[in-house]
Amino acid sequence: MLHLRKQLHYLIFIMNKITHMNKTFALIILVLIIFSCTGNKKDTPQKPTVQKNVRITRVKRDSLSIPVFTVGVLSSKTQSNLSFITGGIIERFFVEEGEFVEKDKLLVRLDMTEIRSRVNQAALGVEKAERDFKRIENLYRDTVATLEQYQDAKTALEVARTNFEIASFNRKNSEIRAPSEGKILRKLKESNEIVASGHPVIVFASTETDWVLKVNLSDRDIVRISKGDSAWVTFDAYPGEIYSAEVSEIATSANLLSGTFEAELRLLDLPEMLVTGLIGNARISPPKETCLLIPAEALAEAMGNTGIVFRIRDGNPVRTRIGIKSITDSNIIITGDLVEGDSVITDGNAWLNEGEEIIVIE
């Protein structure tokens, strides 16, 4: 400070001597001298370290059932495609799609013109064969006809009777009746259309058999379930309603197109109105298994089936990657490097960095 005063006195002395110098220029020189004489600068003090308060919990081990969630389509266990044995022209449908029918109700019939003609033709053939056989039989008794002629006439009569049975059978099956109580899901043809033998005409679902929810599962889930496992099913069409079910069928091979495995859940409780094709959400409860649990609050970051938690090691937070196997109501089932008893941070991990100083609040 004393040195600065001497410099100022010296500057004033010079300014008084140099009267011809511009005052503005002299002021600039004064400022430069002040900044040059400020002495040694002191170091900027470091920002004090802030310790963050956190809460921790312990990783625990428990035995519980990890649910499997899936979506499926409701259908009848017995769903069949009804068709005619013989081909022909469809004369008339007696039902509509979505209609519930009783057993043996007439559903659809072919045009019977040609079929009746074939039955009549076969009946006439039987009458002629019977006359021929009686005549040959009488001649054979009188030793006029040979044994061969008698046997040929008898064979012709049997053939004629067989043809009549075939024609009568085809006439009977030229109409389709309901095999049981059920529902008409779909009509695949219309009246006056030609249909080939064995070609499906009606998709029929029986209501006398079980109703199942057909679901598709991944390879990770299919190995966790077994027949008899309990399940819950809900439908958007019936909000708030929960229907109990059980696993009834499990596929032994994957679908070649989707790569998934099909399973069937048999409904133990049925909706008031059964409609094939309803979309159902299912929760399957496999047998219990031992797993590691942490509370949901311990998860600092998550992406897909992986997450980040802060584990306490030597009093410091350490970022640790975990696998998320499933999520329950309040806990996360994890896999990875964590073991039972490890301490993880549950409160204060949102803005925490690895290695920061922390204060654990019990």
Same domain, 72 and 220: yes
Query: What CATH number has the domain bearing residue 226?
Result: 2.40.30.170
CA 73, 76, 78, 84 torsion: positive or negative?
Answer: negative
The amino acid present at 211, given as its one-letter code, is: W
Same domain, 299 and 353: yes
> What is residue 229's predicted lDDT score, i.e. its pLDDT?
93
Same domain, 191 and 223: no
Same domain, 23 and 162: no
315: left (phi over 0), alpha (psi -120 to 50) or beta: left
CA 242, 243, 248, 253 torsion: positive or negative?
Answer: negative
Same domain, 195 and 104: yes
Same domain, 316 and 262: no
Flag whether 229 is in a domain.
yes
pTM to 2 decimal places: 0.52
CA distance readout (Å), 106 to 87, 96, 198: 18, 12, 18
Q: In what order do the strands lie in the sheet with 194-195?
A: 175-177, 106-110, 88-93, 194-195
**Which of 199, 233, 266 is the C-terminal boundary of a domain?**
199
Same domain, 173 and 195: yes
Flag whether 46 is in a domain.
no
- Sort 71 into a burial class: Cβ within 10 Å, 0-12 / 13-18 / 19+: exposed
| 296, 287 Cβ separation under 8 angstroms | no
CA distance readout (Å), 107 to 208, 280, 359: 18, 30, 79
Which tokens in the block code for residue 269? 């409780």
- Work out how many domains the chain is built from and give that number: 4
Same domain, 233 and 298: no
> What is residue 352's predicted lDDT score, i.e. its pLDDT?
84
Flag whether 343 is in a domain.
yes
First to last CA, the chain: 55
Same domain, 180 and 250: no
CA 195, 105, 98, 281 torsion: positive or negative?
Answer: negative
Which tokens in the block code for residue 82? 């009804």
> What is residue 211's predicted lDDT score, i.e. its pLDDT?
85
**Which of 285, 312, 333 is the C-terminal boundary of a domain?**
285
Residues 6+ apart with CB under 8 A from 177: 104, 105, 106, 107
Query: What CATH number has the domain bearing residue 151?
Result: 1.10.287.470
**Which of 285, 312, 329 is the C-terminal boundary of a domain?**
285
> What is residue 19's predicted lDDT score, i.e. its pLDDT?
47
Q: What domain range is 94 assigned to?
A: 87-199
The b-or-e profile of 267-303 (16+ CB within 10 A means b, else e) is beeebeebebebebebebbbeeeebbbbeeebbbeee
> What is residue 87's predicted lDDT score, i.e. its pLDDT?
85
> What is residue 164's predicted lDDT score, i.e. its pLDDT?
93
Query: What CATH number has the domain bearing residue 297?
Result: 2.40.420.20
> What is residue 27's predicted lDDT score, i.e. its pLDDT?
57
Same domain, 91 and 174: yes
Same domain, 92 and 123: yes
Cα(298)–Cα(309) distance, rounded to whole angstroms?
A: 6
Same domain, 113 and 179: yes
Rg (CA), the chain: 46
Per-residue pLDDT of the chain (362 residues; tens, 9 = 90+): 445 455 555 555 555 555 445 555 555 555 555 555 554 545 555 555 567 888 999 999 988 888 899 999 988 777 788 998 888 899 999 998 888 888 899 999 998 888 889 999 999 999 999 999 999 999 988 888 899 999 999 999 999 999 999 999 988 888 899 888 888 888 998 888 998 888 899 988 887 678 899 999 999 899 989 999 999 999 988 888 999 999 999 998 998 888 899 999 999 887 777 677 889 999 999 988 888 999 988 888 888 889 999 998 888 899 999 998 888 777 888 988 888 999 999 988 888 888 888 888 76
Cα(38)–Cα(56) distance, rounded to whole angstroms?
A: 52
